[in-house]
Structure 1
Amino acid sequence: MDGGIVSYGVYVPRYRIKIDEIAGVWNEDPESIKGGLRVKQKSVPDIDEDTATISVEAARNTLKRVEIDEKKIGAIYVGSESHPYAVKPTATIVAEAVDATPHLTAADYEFACKAGTAAIQNCLGLVRSGMAEYGLAIGSDVSQGAPSDQLEYTAGAGGGAYLIGKENLIAKINKTSSYTTDTPDFWRREGQRYPSHGGRFTGEPGYFEHVTGATEKLLEKTGNQPDDYDYAVFHQPNGKFPVRVAKRLGFNKKQYSPALVVNEIGNTYSGSTLIGLAMVLDQAEPGDRILTTSYGSGAGADSFDITVTENITDVQQKGPKVNDFLKEGIYLSYGEYAKHKGKVK
C-alpha cells in the first residue's frame, strides 16, 4: 500500500556542553568516559526551550519544505519522555502553532526513545486507511540525567518531525515491523525528577535484543539482506551501541556511519532515530534504500524499510539540514548548564 514520507525537519538547540566539563566536576577521567561512550559533547536546551518548543520548530522546518494546506493534517502525534505537562498535551500546542486546528486528532506518546517512530507508524496507518490525508509524527526530548549519573554525559536535546502522506512522497515506507517485551531497563515514576536505569542490563537484554529482533523480522518480511540497503540508521544512546548492532546484523561502516550524530549532540532520546534518519535523507539520492530501527526502553524497537523517490532532491534544498544544527555551538560551563537544565532550584 502507498504511504510514506512527504517531508521532514529537525531542530537541535545551539547550546553545548563538553564531556570534559561534566567529568571535571565529578573528578572523572574524561578520556575514559569519551572512549567508553564515544560522545564528546551534547546539546543543551536554552532556558526557555522544552519539548514543546523543539517540537514546534521541527514541525515548522518540516512544513517549510512543502506547499500543503496545514488544515489537511488530520493527525499530530508527539512522542517524548519529557513532555512539559503531566496533564496537557504537547501535540495541541504544535497543532495550534502550525495552524492545523481544529479538525484533527492529536495526542502525546511515551515509549522512552522510540515514541517518535511509534507516531510514524500510527500516522502511516491513518493515511493508508484514508482516515487522514496527512499525519505529522514528531519525536522530541529535553532528556534528563541525574547529576554524576552516566546518563548526564549523554542526555541531549533535539527533535525530528515527519509529514506522512500518500502523494508526492520523498521516501516510500515499504514495510515496518516491531519487537516489544516488558523489559524494565529504564524507568521514572510519577513525581521522580530523574530516571533510573539498569546499567549494563540496558545493553544485551534491552537495546541489542530488541533492535536485532525488529530488524531481523523486517529483513524476513521483505526478503532483503543487509547489503540490499544503501544506509542503515539505528537509535543512538551512545556512540558504541549503533555501531555494534549494525556490525552484528551485517551492515558495514559505509551504510551506518552517515547517520551517526550522537558524538556531537548526545542522545536526543525520542529525537535520536528521527534526526539520524534526517541526516541520511539530507544526502540520499533517488532509488536509495534505507533501513531504520529505533529503540525505546521498557522495551521495544520499530524497524522500517524505506525507498527514496525522485522527489527527494527538491525537498532537500528547502529547509535547514541536520548539519546546519551541528555547526559550532555556544559552550556552557557546568554551572550554566545546570541553570539551563533546571538542576539548580
Structure 2
Amino acid sequence: MVGIYSYGVYIPRYRIKVPEIARVWGASADDITRGLGVYEKSVPDLDEDTATIAVEAARAALRRRDEIDPEDIGAIYVGSESHPYAVKPTACTVGEAIEATPNMTAADYEFACKAGTAGIQTCMGLVKSGMIQLGIAIGADVAQGAPGDALEYTAAAGGAAFVIGGEDVIADINRTCSFTTDTPDFWRREGQNYPRHGGRFTGDPGYFKHVQGAAMLMFEMAGTTPKDYDYAVFHQPNAKFPQRVAKMLGFREEQIEPGLVVPRLGNTYSGASMIGLAATLDVAKPGERIFVTSFGSGAGSDAFDITVTDLIESEVFDRTAAPSVKRLLENPVYLDYALYAKHKGKIVMQR
C-alpha cells in the first residue's frame, strides 16, 4: 500500500471579515455571507508568500514524525496558483529549508485549486514504483482576487503538506482517480495580476460536473457508496458548493462537517481540499474511512479513498507536535480593509 506518512498545515494568523470588504464596496454584507457561507478569511503577513507557507506546512509535517530523515525524501512537489516566481521553483526552496537531500526530484505544479492533490498522486506513483522512499506533496496559495471582484470575498492564504510513503503510514490511500476536461471557467494570463472567471460557468459545467464525475468514478472503482465512509472532504471555494455536492452525491452533513473549514478560513485555492483533509485527520480514528475530491478550474478533479490506520494513535506519530487546523484558526488578528490591501500588495508605497 501507499499512504499518508505524515501531514502538516500552516495558516497565517491575520484575518479580514467579509462584512469589512463588503462595507468598502457598498455591497450587502448579509447577502454575501449568506450566499457564500463565508464570514472571514485568512490574510498573509507582509513577509509571507506561497514559499514561506509551503515551508512551514512541510516543517509541521516533519515534526509529527521524529524519525523522518530528510535524506529519505526523494521528491517534493508544490502546487499553487501564486508561486513567488514565474521561473524559479518553489519546491527547491522548500527542499533547502527542510534540509532534504539534493538527490531528489522537485517541481512546481499548476492546475488551479487541485495542483496539490496532483502532487499527491505523483508521489504515490514514485513511491509505489520504488523510485523514492518518501515524497512530499504541498498545496499552498496566497490566493488572488481583484479589488471589488467576487473572488476578493473568499481568496485566502494557507497550505498543507502531505508526506507520502509506502510503509508505516497513518492512512492508506486505497485508490485514486481523476476526471478532467477542457472547461475554461477560470483563468489568468501571463503578466496579469488577478484571475478572471466565467461567472455562472464556475458552478456548472465547472465545479459540480467534475467533482461528481471523479466521485462517481471512485464509487465504481471501489464498489462503495457514501454510506461506506465516515468522512468526506470536497474542494471548498465557499461553503455552499461542497455542501451542495455532498448532498447531491448522498453524503450526510455530519460526514463533511469536520473538514469544512472555509467559513472561517476562506478559499486557500490549492490548499483548500488538503487543509480540509488535514482537519479531518486531526479527529479521525483508526479504521475510519475518508472520501476526498478536489477541484481545479480548467478543469479537473482528483478523488481519493483513504482508510486511517492504527499508527495515527501510536507512539511513532504525534498529532500534538504541530498545531491542528482548529488551533491554527484560533486567536486571529483582524485587519481593516486598508491594512488588508497593504498586506496583499493592492496598495504600494511610492518611493
Q: TM-score, normalised by structure 2?
A: 0.97
CA distance in structure 2 between the aligned counterparts of 1:148 and 1:318, rounded to whole angstroms: 40
**Counterpart in 2 of 1:279?**
279
**Counterpart in 1 of 2:58?**
59
What's the CA shift string for 1:263-293, capped at 9, x where partnerless?
A: 0010000000010000000000000000000
Local SS of the residue matching 2:193: coil
**Counterpart in 2 of 1:138?**
138
**Counterpart in 1 of 2:346?**
343
Local SS of the residue matching 2:121: helix
**Counterpart in 2 of 1:258?**
258
Deviation at 1:318, TM superposition (A): 2.6
CA distance in structure 1 between the aligned counterparts of 2:301 and 2:21, rounded to whole angstroms: 30
CA distance in structure 1 between the aligned counterparts of 2:268 and 2:188, rounded to whole angstroms: 17
What's the CA shift string for 1:154-197, capped at 9, x where partnerless?
A: 00000000000011100000010100000000000000010000
- Does residue 288 in structure 1 map to residue 288 in structure 2? yes
Deviation at 1:258, TM superposition (A): 1.1
AA in 2 matched with 1:293: T
**Counterpart in 2 of 1:14?**
13
**Counterpart in 2 of 1:101?**
101
CA distance in structure 1 between the aligned counterparts of 2:274 and 2:132, rounded to whole angstroms: 22
Local SS of the residue matching 1:48: coil
Matches within 5 A, 1:77-226: 77-226=77-226
CA distance in structure 2 between the aligned counterparts of 1:143 and 1:115, rounded to whole angstroms: 13
Local SS of the residue matching 2:175: strand
State the percentage of identical aligned residues: 65
- Does residue 334 in structure 1 map to residue 337 in structure 2? yes
Local SS of the residue matching 1:311: helix
Matches within 5 A, 1:17-36: 17-36=16-35
Local SS of the residue matching 2:101: coil
What's the CA shift string for 1:242-276, capped at 9, x where partnerless?
A: 00000000000111111110000100000000100
AA in 2 matched with 1:136: I
AA in 1 matched with 2:187: W
CA distance in structure 2 between the aligned counterparts of 1:160 and 1:338, rounded to whole angstroms: 25
Structure 2: give runs of 5+ residues left out of the alignment: none
Deviation at 1:123, TM superposition (A): 0.2
Structure 1: give runs of 5+ residues left out of the alignment: none
**Counterpart in 2 of 1:73?**
73
Local SS of the residue matching 1:119: helix
Local SS of the residue matching 2:306: strand
AA in 2 matched with 1:342: G
- Residue 326 of structure 2, aligned match among 323, 327, 338: 323
CA distance in structure 1 between the aligned counterparts of 2:203 and 2:36, rounded to whole angstroms: 13
Q: TM-score, normalised by structure 1?
A: 0.99
Query: In 1, are the aligned partners of 2:7 and 2:163 still within 8 Å (CA)?
Result: yes
CA distance in structure 2 between the aligned counterparts of 1:334 and 1:123, rounded to whole angstroms: 40
What's the CA shift string for 1:16-70, capped at 9, x where partnerless?
A: 0001110000000000000000000000000000000000000000000112111
Query: In 1, are the aligned partners of 2:124 and 2:165 still within 8 Å (CA)?
Result: yes
- The number of residues matched between the two structures is 344
Higher mean C-alpha displacement, 320-329 vs 263-272:
320-329
**Counterpart in 2 of 1:3?**
2
Query: In 1, are the aligned partners of 2:72 and 2:101 still within 8 Å (CA)?
Result: no
CA distance in structure 1 between the aligned counterparts of 2:301 and 2:329, rounded to whole angstroms: 26
AA in 1 matched with 2:42: S
Local SS of the residue matching 1:83: coil
Query: In 1, are the aligned partners of 2:237 and 2:267 still within 8 Å (CA)?
Result: yes
Please provide the CA RMSD for this pair. 0.6
CA distance in structure 2 between the aligned counterparts of 1:179 and 1:65, rounded to whole angstroms: 33
AA in 2 matched with 1:273: S
CA distance in structure 2 between the aligned counterparts of 1:284 and 1:222, rounded to whole angstroms: 21
AA in 2 matched with 1:103: N
What's the CA shift string for 1:117-151, capped at 9, x where partnerless?
A: 00000000000000000000000000000000000
AA in 1 matched with 2:221: K
- Does residue 42 in structure 1 map to residue 41 in structure 2? yes
CA distance in structure 1 between the aligned counterparts of 2:204 and 2:283, rounded to whole angstroms: 32
AA in 2 matched with 1:324: R
Local SS of the residue matching 1:285: coil
AA in 2 matched with 1:328: N
Deviation at 1:103, TM superposition (A): 0.6
AA in 1 matched with 2:231: Y
